[in-house]
Amino acid sequence: MSVVLVTGSAGLVGSEAVRFFARMGHTVVGLDNDLRRHFFGEDASTRWSRDELLRQFEGYAHRDVDIRDAEAVADVFRDYGEDITLVIHAAAQPSHDWAAGDPFTDFTVNANGTLTLLESTRRHCPEAVFIFLSTNKVYGDTPNHLPLVEEACRWEVDPEHPFHAGIDETMSIDQSKHSLFGASKVAADVLVQEYGRYFGMKTACFRGGCLTGPDHSGAKLHGFLSYLMKCAVTGEPYTIFGYKGKQVRDNIHSYDLVNAFYHFYRAPRSGEVYNIGGGRFSNCSMLEAVEICEEISGNKLNWSYSESNRSGDHVWWISDVGKFRRHYPGWDLEYGIRDILEQIHARAAERFPGARSR
């Protein structure tokens, strides 16, 4: 029996991983105690996703476990032991704005929780592959020092700069403003690398940009494409913070991300780091995202602008996924920005009864 253990299993990436590996015939065990509801409120709860997974997959085992609870986590690992062949760690406090209000919770979830999972893996299933969902925030605000060119609807990097095609893993994580969230994820990221290098475990950090898809429980402080489309559908107001609304993000569909996990799982390495995102294939500025949401929904978005950017926020981020492609040439991106937003819109129209129609 091959067991895949997924943390944050009712969240965007976790639920995608549950579906992906359950459909392949693996036994999937999910850990999720709906902390997202605590972070962002009732509207961001992932209980609906958990219930959907339980309905869809008879063999899916859900555990209402907090990853900071070392004994409860160890109990799960003891139950399945060396049958666990893959751990996908997607649970997190994901917002740099939220972290500033409660640094202790942010750090214990992101850093201590990761250490708890690494230790349980090392003690109970040391041959398992351990995949950690890290973040581009480990680079802090260093990307904001790139030479940027202002265009009509977006910022761009000077075409002559080596990172014009995307930011790769050679960018330093030192001497920058990370946000407290970024700092807690740096701690976890380095731990995952160290367990690979020091103990020889099969570990990888996937440093994601904007992760998205139709099963995202988007909230004001996290999940901008999902929340933006929700506002377009429901009429709720949306605020763009700083940079003239021209800040750029690459966006990767949760399926494309989990498919990358699968390729790593089939041919794992130790202590690896990958920047992962939509790259040049799938990216947009805030203004461009607003326009596409309005086109797809048929509604005018009720948005306003604030001059104050979020502290430590990136002006421009596009991932260079070249290293992962070199290691795993069979993997590629399938979903672009418009594909993603059309799926998000279809799901939003189902989830929100008061949705405005065309």
**Running along the chain, 358 residues long, what does each successive block of 10 average in pLDDT?**
94 96 97 91 88 95 98 98 98 90 96 98 98 97 97 97 98 95 97 98 96 82 84 93 96 98 98 98 97 96 91 91 98 97 91 62
pTM above threshold 0.85: yes
Tell me the per-residue pLDDT of 40-70, one tens digit each, with 9 for 90 and over. 888 889 998 999 999 999 989 999 999 999 9
Query: CATH classification of 3-351 is 3.40.228.10, yes or no?
Result: no
**Mean pLDDT score of the chain, rounded to an integer?**
94
Residue 207, classed as helix, strand or coil, is strand
**pLDDT in the model for residue 224:** 82
Chain CA centroid to CA 96, Å: 13
Chain CA centroid to CA 298, Å: 28
Q: CB under 8 Å, gap of 24 or more: what pairs does 66-72 form?
A: 66/33, 66/35, 67/7, 67/31, 67/91, 67/109, 67/113, 67/114, 67/116, 67/117, 68/108, 68/109, 68/112, 68/113, 68/116, 69/116, 70/116, 70/119, 70/120
* Residues 326, 85, 198, 134, Cα dihedral to 10°: 60
Residue with tokens 């299933």: 125
Q: Give the H or E element holding residue 184.
A: helix 179-199
**pLDDT in the model for residue 150:** 97
**pLDDT in the model for residue 358:** 44
**pLDDT in the model for residue 95:** 87
Closest CA to 205 of 229, 228, 173: 173
**How many other C-beta atoms are found inside a 10 Å radius of the C-beta of residue 266?**
10
**How many other C-beta atoms are found inside a 10 Å radius of the C-beta of residue 54?**
15
Beta strands in the chain (DSSP E): 3-7, 27-31, 61-63, 84-89, 129-135, 148-150, 155-157, 202-208, 210-212, 238-241, 248-253, 272-276, 283-285, 303-306, 316-317
**pLDDT in the model for residue 169:** 98
Q: Give the H or E element holding residue 248.
A: strand 248-253
Q: Give percent of the chain above pLDDT 70.
A: 98
Taking phi first (over 0 means left), then psi (-120 to 50 degrees means alpha), and beta for anything else, what does residue 213 get? left
Q: Rounded to whole angstroms, how far apart are CA atoms 255 and 303? A: 29
Inter-residue contact 211 to 169 (CB < 8 Å): no
**pLDDT in the model for residue 221:** 64
Tell me the per-residue pLDDT of 134-144, one tens digit each, with 9 for 90 and over. 999 999 999 99
**pLDDT in the model for residue 352:** 79
Q: Where are the domains of the chain?
A: 3-351
Residue with tokens 């920047």: 275
Beta strands in 69-161 (DSSP E): 84-89, 129-135, 148-150, 155-157
